[in-house]
Structure 1
Amino acid sequence: MSLSHGSGRLLRPLLAWLQQHITAQRFLWLLALACLLIAWNRGLSLLYGMLALVLATLLLSWLMPWLALRHIRVSVQQIGDASAGDQVTLEYQFQLPKTRYLMLLREDLEYADQPVTHRIAMLANGDRLRTRSLCRYRGVFPLQTVEVGCCWPFGFVSLFRQLTVPERLIVVAPQTFQVQTLPAGAGDDAAMIEYQSTSQPHAQAEYCGLREYHPYDSLKHIHWSASARHQQLLVREYNSQAQPDFLLLLDNCLDDDIGEPPLSTFEFAVSLAASLMTWAKDQQQPMRLLAHGSHPTDIAIGGHHRGSSDYLSALAWTQADGDKPYGTLVEQALLKYPHSATLITVRNLSQLPELPEFHGCHIDILIADQSFIYPMQSWEEGWSHPTANHYQLRLHASSKLERQFRYGAF
């Protein structure tokens, strides 16, 4: 028993080494070398013939895949929407002169943890291949090259060729959670009634400027003379329509981003913003999202905006690359939209900037940024109500966000 056990311990590393280093191609080369040595020593014609057969097999294994990979073109597009933590679906279309066999497609995507190789038994002109890969990161990822390979006819040798494809941008939206409700004081009811009444085509409101026409705009609001001068449709915008009931501000300052994506304070805040905007879309509540940085965002949703989904694409682009303090951004936003009924701020707990005075309802979301560095420590979370129109929500890296925005959580 002891001898067999000891031999087994010796054989396991040897078998693991052979499995890792002895491939089919290397085995053929070793076989060819053995045939050559035996034939050279003994002069056996049969072994010379075996050597020629092995060498011919190796030559065909290298030559045929090279010939099969000529004159192949590939295009790729993203199918459907994708969000962080979910599957991204890509569709590849192939153009080639003749049907090919034993083809390979290697995906080395920027957002994937490791390359994945897909095997295609037969590939004809115009064939399409859909692949799905897990993406843990939010963002916009360019795709410019694709690796196509072939292992025909014997499967001993796999050759790959890098093909340039028309550049595509893979857009991955932030991950969202369900927001059931916000504090009872958020969103002044009187302001909502005024908004809904003045946004009707017959309403009278204070004129505040022109903007581009959108399909949901009433034709009565088109400024025809200005549209003729600028060669595009422009509509009159009124103060009641320009001012959102909810004003949501995202902190893009690079110095305030703690942790590494996808577990960082900025990614946490982006997920919060996307979820709150989704709630506003579902509830038909007017909400405006402001974010700065290299890809500034100023987009409204709900009310007369009819639930636009552009905010997800905008949040896929935004990055933590700003250099302005969060307090300054809040002050500028309130100067631009002074009649907002509810202000929603999302900021770090350890870097609390002084915010300008706001007379409406204020939902102040405080993220324990140190929890992204020390996740095992105990961190405070939950709602508090410091003043009549001021709500605070403390969160940390492991907070169950759906629980904090459900009915009865305030």
Structure 2
Amino acid sequence: MLSVSRSPRFTTLLFGALFIYFVAVLFSLPSLFFMAAALVIAPAVSYLLAALGLREIRGERRIPSRLWPDEKVEVEIRLENRALLPKCLLRIDEDLPDGLGGDEASPPGCVVPMLWGDLTTCGYPLIARYRGRYRLAPLVATAVDTFDLFRARRQIGPSNEIVVYPRRVPLSIHALHAPTLDGMIRRSRPVASGVDFRGTREYQPGDDLRRIHWRSTARRGRPIVVEFEEPATTDLFIVLDVSPTAAQGEGRENTFETAVTVAASVIEYELEHGNAVGLYLDGPEPTHLALTRERHELLRFLEALALVEADAPRPLAETIARAGELVPHTAVVFLVSTDASAATAAAVTELTRQHAVAYGWIDPWGHPGAPESDAAGFLARLKSAGVAVFAIRRDDIAAGLTQPW
């Protein structure tokens, strides 16, 4: 839809024409009548130039639909003049959403003249600052006439959608597969199947009685148990706290954003090292990504984390109970949250009856506007229940995942 607005110069020109007209009448100067008439006709011509300046103009943006954090790309704007008349000046103004930024030296938008049948391109740099889904408004052009008295605006191209993936930090190693968890992982696994058979040996105190090989026991006259190969990798199922209380702090530098970074970093590490990983995100429409070790699935995980918001309709304790029903018994459940409530501690303790559990507690310290939290008692309670606890700070995520609390 075409909209035309007048500039302050129009009012100045109109008053100037009236002043010249009164002077011409007062002093009977015919030449001033012609000058006043010219000043009155000029706005009409200017209006026509502005209104016709956007006829048969088509445009589009060309920009990747998926970006990495801090990635800088060039937005290409293609303009085509399908009319038989040239256009004086076309201006493209862009209003970028919060989370996407431009370069101060090259602000979003461009100004180009166009001849008849002309096809031209212009552009500007764009920087992806924060994760999320962003919609760039439909492409709108402004036509400015020669006198700059009127400006016409019209949509000439479609909108664009951009998804920015979450930040990740490089992990050389993390303790989610450390010896401190090995006992829990073994206890969480059911008796292995025949395909994992390694051999037999004498019974030792603490061995699972279900592993006794009765035929060998009868033949040798003493208890014999079956040994199985332990899998070389550990399945990891991540449950991210997406309740409203998960976001503590101001703006984009809150604890929830740190938790998303932790989850994304661990998922990337797991898939790069051939380990199976899964993800559960609660919310109005929960997201459940089943265990996989396929590296090409990384982008699917990152896209889910790019779009997630702290808007779950239930507290973390209820989310843990729901997620526990989805996690295979062979997987370690890794909970990521800043929650240190008694209800959450009880839910995590209950979860340890069925699964090996690790808890990544996001320390509010270092997040602008986040309240201080003394979670020592909460973390000690989890540790006494057999949970591997990790205290993670925003400024050193890798170190927080290296050594259990």
Change in 2 beyond 3 A, CA 1:409/1:323: closer
Q: CA deviation at 1:173?
A: 2.0
Alignment pair present for 1:180 and 2:159: no
Partner Cα separation in structure 1 for residue 366 and residue 402 of structure 2:
26
Indicate the SS of the match to 1:160. Answer: strand
Alignment pair present for 1:145 and 2:145: no
State the match for 2:390 in structure 1: 393
Question: Which one has a bigger Cα radius of gyration?
Answer: 2
Match 1:38 to one of 7, 10, 23: 23
Q: CA deviation at 1:312?
A: 1.7
Alignment pair present for 1:71 and 2:56: yes
- Map 1:48-59; keep pairs closer than 5 Å: 48-59=33-44
Q: Which moved more, 1:107-116 or 1:277-286?
A: 107-116
Alignment pair present for 1:290 and 2:280: yes
Cα pair 2:65 2:163 within 8 Å, conserved:
no
Change in 2 beyond 3 A, CA 1:118/1:23: farther
Cα pair 2:253 2:367 within 8 Å, conserved:
yes
Q: CA deviation at 1:272?
A: 2.2
Partner Cα separation in structure 2 for residue 145 and residue 374 of structure 1:
36
Partner Cα separation in structure 1 for residue 327 and residue 99 of structure 2:
40
Partner Cα separation in structure 2 for residue 345 and residue 251 of structure 1:
7
Question: For the aligned residues, what is the CA RMSD?
Answer: 4.4
Partner Cα separation in structure 2 for residue 251 and residue 343 of structure 1:
13
Alignment pair present for 1:106 and 2:93: yes
Change in 2 beyond 3 A, CA 1:263/1:313: same
- Map 1:22-37; keep pairs closer than 5 Å: 24-25=9-10, 27-37=12-22
- In structure 2, the gaps of 5 or more residues are 1-6, 197-229
Cα pair 2:101 2:128 within 8 Å, conserved:
no
Which string of whole-angstrom CA distances, capped at 9 and with x for unpartnered residues, describes residues 137-163 of structure 1? 432234463321111434454321235
Cα pair 2:238 2:278 within 8 Å, conserved:
yes
**Matched residue pairs, number?**
342
Indicate the structure whose relative CO is greater, using CA pairs within 8 Å and at least 6 residues apart. 2
Cα pair 2:174 2:398 within 8 Å, conserved:
no
Alignment pair present for 1:363 and 2:358: yes
Alignment pair present for 1:332 and 2:322: yes
Indicate the SS of the match to 2:63. Answer: strand
Change in 2 beyond 3 A, CA 1:62/1:86: farther
Indicate the SS of the match to 1:108. Answer: coil
Change in 2 beyond 3 A, CA 1:357/1:143: same
Cα pair 2:142 2:152 within 8 Å, conserved:
yes
- In structure 1, the gaps of 5 or more residues are 1-21, 206-239
Cα pair 1:349 1:368 within 8 Å, conserved:
no
Could you state the TM-score of these two structures normalised by the residue count of structure 1? 0.66
Change in 2 beyond 3 A, CA 1:134/1:191: same
Partner Cα separation in structure 2 for residue 90 and residue 164 of structure 1:
14
Which string of whole-angstrom CA distances, capped at 9 and with x for unpartnered residues, describes residues 357-377 of structure 1? 427654322234587573596
Match 1:82 to one of 55, 67, 71: 67
State the match for 1:215 in structure 2: none
Partner Cα separation in structure 2 for residue 380 and residue 39 of structure 1:
86
Partner Cα separation in structure 1 for residue 234 and residue 25 of structure 2:
89
Partner Cα separation in structure 2 for residue 395 and residue 180 of structure 1:
16
Q: Which amino acid aligns with 2:66?
A: D
Partner Cα separation in structure 2 for residue 95 and residue 37 of structure 1:
46
Indicate the SS of the match to 2:303. Answer: helix
State the match for 1:322 in structure 2: 312
Partner Cα separation in structure 2 for residue 361 and residue 172 of structure 1:
33
Q: CA deviation at 1:171?
A: 1.5
Q: Which moved more, 1:53-62 or 1:23-32?
A: 23-32
Partner Cα separation in structure 2 for residue 329 and residue 376 of structure 1:
23
Partner Cα separation in structure 2 for residue 375 and residue 330 of structure 1:
24
Alignment pair present for 1:120 and 2:111: yes
Alignment pair present for 1:254 and 2:249: no
Q: CA deviation at 1:254?
A: 3.0
Indicate the SS of the match to 2:146. Answer: coil
Percent of aligned pairs with the same residue? 20
Could you state the TM-score of these two structures normalised by the residue count of structure 2? 0.67
Match 2:152 to one of 159, 165, 169: 159
Cα pair 1:108 1:114 within 8 Å, conserved:
no
Change in 2 beyond 3 A, CA 1:338/1:94: same
Partner Cα separation in structure 2 for residue 390 and residue 92 of structure 1:
54
Q: Which amino acid aligns with 1:107?
A: E
Q: Which amino acid aligns with 2:26?
A: N
Cα pair 1:32 1:51 within 8 Å, conserved:
yes
Alignment pair present for 1:404 and 2:399: yes
